[in-house]
Amino acid sequence: MTVINHLPVLLIAIPILASLLIFAAGWYDRRFAYPITLITVLFQFTASVILLLQVMQEGTIRYHLGGWAPPLGIELVIDSFNGFILAAIMLLAAATVVYARRSVEKEIEQEKIVSFYVLFQLLVTGLVGMTITGDIFNLYVFLEISSIAAYTLISASRKPHSYVASFNYLVLGSISAGFILLGIGNLYVATGTLNMAELAAILPASYGLATVHSAFLFLMIGFSIKIAFFPLHLWLPDAYTESPSAVTILISTVMAKVSVYALFRILFSVFTTAYIIDSFPVTGFILLMATVAIVAGAVLAIAQDDLKRMLAYSSISQIGYIMFALGVANQIALEGGLLHILGHAVMKGCLFMVAGMIIYRMGTSKLSELKGVAKTMPISCAAFALAGASMIGIPPTIGFMSKYYLVLGAFEAGLWPYAVVLLIGSLLAAVYIWKFIEIAYFGDHHDNHHTSVREGPLSMLAPMVCLAVLCLIFGVFVEVLMEAVGPAVILLLGGV
């Protein structure tokens, strides 16, 4: 028995302890709050990478809390699917924490900084818990931890609009949590177990039951609200726009991706492909809604005049791509979908970091006031252009690779009209990304009264540039990623 064996539980227990330590240490001196958060998140990142490598070499890790075997106790499971997601979200969380320090100092009131980091840490912990738990009710508990932390964090910038955004999200989030809880309850009624692996084994016998169908619908709708799948996205634009920059980055990358993960996990590992294709054919509908989401999100993004709000609508469009993979549900498309989970997190994280940087220096994210910003903030705008190229899907970026796999998957399934929609989505993405590029690089510099602004501090620039470069590196060395993604997809489709 070494520390490595206990990493799964340490990944949750240490950060929960740390969040209270931040609270206590911050009581003595506010300056302690940030270093503890940083160390904890870096620890989580390291641990997640170690776990991913271990899973890739030795297979699934199962950890029984309290030594109780699964039907009775709660287990933590790390397999090739959530190992990949875990490493991806912790990479983004680590980048966000590095970025957060200066941005938070500027945007949050001094006396609220300690509680901000406590909630920040709890949000990350809740999301990690959601990712590695093997128990469906435990998933719900962690979902609530992370959601409540997120509601509070969104309102942390203390503007009137952020309260409204937070309240809207609170209402919709609670409805979604209610749906998810009902779904879990129905599954428990039908099977008598809450363990995911057990559920997958017992459920096929009752695939015909109305209880199971309603459970599926409840879970599907609940998580669709959480991930902001197109018609249920109404909370997202306000929440992303009004929250402090660091929070926007965290919820748009880490939180959104974990919710997507949870949906995939429920659909493929609790229910199976056999259920969602044969017993309760829902993939066609998901595919249709995903294409609507891709186009509608992109069109709405083009219509915005605020940088952050534009990126928020772009997230709705990109979620459509991931759900598209779910709708096609063959190996290649799912590989593309998983790549896009990582890729979108990296590029959207970078884009929101640029938006946060512009707000940090200029105090606004209105596109009309950003004319010629590239002359004063060249590095940020270059990072935006690179991540934006990835968003459009220009080779050799990660965005191109994931969309390429999606298109291939759609062709393989004979869904070529849908593949055309993917390309239209890319063209629309080019329009809204170009809208900022044009204003930043070719806008008339002299209309602008912010001529004296400079680039932001290094602690904000470094993670931004790292993520922008990662868009490129992941795209070029996509084979390395596929070694992690390939087994994950086989696992989702019911292989080993």
Q: Which stretch binds other proteins (CB under 8 A): 63-71, 130-138, 268-276, 357-365?
A: 63-71
**Closest-CA residue to 41 (of 100, 81, 1):** 100
Q: Which is nearer to other proteins, 195 or 318 (CB)?
A: 195
The least distance separating other proteins from the CB of residue 491, rounded to whole angstroms, comes to 24
CA-angle at 43, arms to 127 and 138, nearest 5°: 30
| 366 forms part of the interface with other proteins (CB under 8 A) | no
The least distance separating other proteins from the CB of residue 125, rounded to whole angstroms, comes to 12
- Residues in a beta bridge with 75: 64
The least distance separating other proteins from the CB of residue 174, rounded to whole angstroms, comes to 17
Query: Quick check: 219 and 266 in contact, CB under 8 A?
Result: yes
The least distance separating other proteins from the CB of residue 66, rounded to whole angstroms, comes to 4
* Peptide bond before residue 396 is cis, with ω within 30 degrees of 0: yes
Q: Which stretch binds other proteins (CB under 8 A): 19-27, 32-40, 267-275, 467-475?
A: 19-27
Q: Which is nearer to other proteins, 16 or 175 (CB)?
A: 16
Query: Quick check: 377 and 357 in contact, CB under 8 A?
Result: yes
Q: Which of 4, 13, 288, 462 binds other proteins (CB under 8 A)?
A: 13
| 110 forms part of the interface with other proteins (CB under 8 A) | no
* Greatest alpha-carbon span in the chain: 71
Q: Which of 38, 50, 65, 302 binds other proteins (CB under 8 A)?
A: 65
**Closest-CA residue to 56 (of 371, 494, 490):** 490
Rounded to 10 deg, the angle between the 80-107 and 256-264 helix axes is 160
**Closest-CA residue to 429 (of 392, 398, 404, 397):** 392
The least distance separating other proteins from the CB of residue 16, rounded to whole angstroms, comes to 7
| 63 forms part of the interface with other proteins (CB under 8 A) | yes
| 163 forms part of the interface with other proteins (CB under 8 A) | no
Helix (H, G, I), strand (E, B) or coil at 365: coil
| 66 forms part of the interface with other proteins (CB under 8 A) | yes
Q: Which stretch binds other proteins (CB under 8 A): 7-15, 125-133, 187-195, 264-272?
A: 7-15
Half-sphere exposure of 493 (CA within 13 A, CB side): 17
Distances (CA, A) of 323 to 111, 147, 196, 219, 295: 41, 22, 22, 15, 13
- Residues in a beta bridge with 195: 135
Distances (CA, A) of 211 to 207, 217, 262, 334, 452: 9, 10, 21, 28, 64
Enter the tokens of residue 393. 């899907």
The least distance separating other proteins from the CB of residue 118, rounded to whole angstroms, comes to 11
Q: Which is nearer to other proteins, 17 or 302 (CB)?
A: 17
Q: Which of 30, 64, 112, 213 binds other proteins (CB under 8 A)?
A: 64
The least distance separating other proteins from the CB of residue 487, rounded to whole angstroms, comes to 26
Q: Which is nearer to other proteins, 64 or 213 (CB)?
A: 64
How far apart are the C-alpha atoms of 406 and 324, rounded to whole Å?
8
Task: Count the residues of the shown chain that bind other proteins, applying the rule CB under 8 A.
Answer: 17
Interacting positions 24-53 with other proteins (CB under 8 A): 24, 27
| 9 forms part of the interface with other proteins (CB under 8 A) | yes
Q: Which stretch binds other proteins (CB under 8 A): 64-72, 220-228, 262-270, 373-381?
A: 64-72
Q: Which stretch binds other proteins (CB under 8 A): 3-11, 265-273, 347-355, 421-429?
A: 3-11
What sign for the dihedral angle of Cα 46, 78, 332, 310? negative
Contact residues toward other proteins (CB under 8 A) are: 1, 6, 9-10, 13, 16-17, 20-21, 23-24, 27, 63-67
